[in-house]
A = this chain, B = another copy of it.
């Protein structure tokens, strides 16, 4: 039999599920500790505060996710001299979906939490997360810049935002079903979108402009 999970882990699991279902502020420590079969004071004892618990829930999964992404990115880059755009995008997208198919629907829950974190304007959380998240995004940005020479830097950053938005939104919306089909779609969708940026610029040197009514 596996060692029974510690109080810390039970609290993290319960908090993850409740945060995903109800939101950070809407979830009370009493709900969490009751679901975790722990005493109310356990949260403040083990983590210090509710805010620190939120960060802990985050780090546990995000560290693993970003590490898997970077490992796969490195593998794609050393595979050949000229990196393949699709392989780079798979390195970013597939681990997120592998997550979803992992232990129960932990990944699915975490994607909902990740989306909340983007929505939350909580500066403390925002800063703490972007510290390591920015590093990962920069690695992928430069990898794509190599695979797709001639793409505007600012444009590339925007497109990465598109991909992050599309990924988190669909992951949060659709459950853990059809992960593979979604990954296929998103990789192709994103690759085509990225390639369109350089081809347009190479053909006529300027993008079409739209009028925006104000």
Contact = CB atoms under 8 A, between A and B. Distances in A.
With most chain B CB atoms within 10 A of its CB, the pick from A24, A97, A167, A184 is A184
Interface string A202-214: 0000011110111
Contacts of A192: 192-193, 195-196
Interface string A170-190: 101110000111111111111
Interface in A21-51: 21-26
A159 interface: yes
Nearest to A107: B214
Contacts of A185: 155, 158-159, 162, 197, 207
A207 B186 CA distance: 12
B165 A161 contact: no
Interface stretch (A3-11, A56-64, A118-126, A142-150): A118-126
A189 B184 contact: no
Interface in A89-142: 90, 94, 97-98, 101-102, 112, 115-116, 118-121
A82 interface: no
From A23, A115, A185, residue with most partner B Cβ within 10 Å: A185
A191 interface: yes
Contact of A162 (B24, B98, B170): B170
Q: How many subunits of this chain does the assembly comprise? A: 2
B212 A188 contact: no
Contact of A188 (B163, B174, B200): B200
A209 B97 CA distance: 14
A75 interface: no
A52 interface: no
Contacts of A172: 118-119
Contacts of A120: 23
Contacts of A167: 165
Which 5 residue pairs across A and B have the least CB separation, nearest first?
A165-B169, A192-B196, A189-B193, A162-B166, A165-B166
